[in-house]
Structure 1
Amino acid sequence: MGFKHELSQAIQVTVSGETGHVKGRAEYTTMNNQYYIHYLAADGRGADGWFGEDELSPAKEDGLVKE
């Protein structure tokens, strides 16, 4: 199965609403695709982390989720 999100795509972490960009992605045989996201955390600091494909939504550059 292919990737749902592109490299450098603006992304929103669905559960928290934090926004960032896809910096990397990984494909596995036994689990869903993973994305390495650089995002602005709720406390205002920059953060990086791996998220499952089902935890992310596309976002506009202004941080609003696309409808």
Structure 2
Amino acid sequence: MTQLILYTSEDGQAQVQLRADRGTVWLTQREMAELFKVSTDNIGLHLKHLYADSELAWQA
């Protein structure tokens, strides 16, 4: 069962919607970029490095 979790910062300026499925939280690359205030290209580059270093599996 997928749950939607909504987080709002104390100052109300930031809001993040997370999807939780069987204990795992999911964000799209766009959502991660918004959360960390970086570009989606930057997120993609970091993910590419995580896969290359075998810190993440492609199936994830």
- Give your verdict on TM over 0.5: no
Greater gyration radius: 2
* TM-score with structure 2 setting the length: 0.22
Question: Which one has a larger percent strand, Structure 1 or Structure 2?
Answer: 1
Q: Which has the higher contact order (CA 8 A, sep 6+)?
A: 1
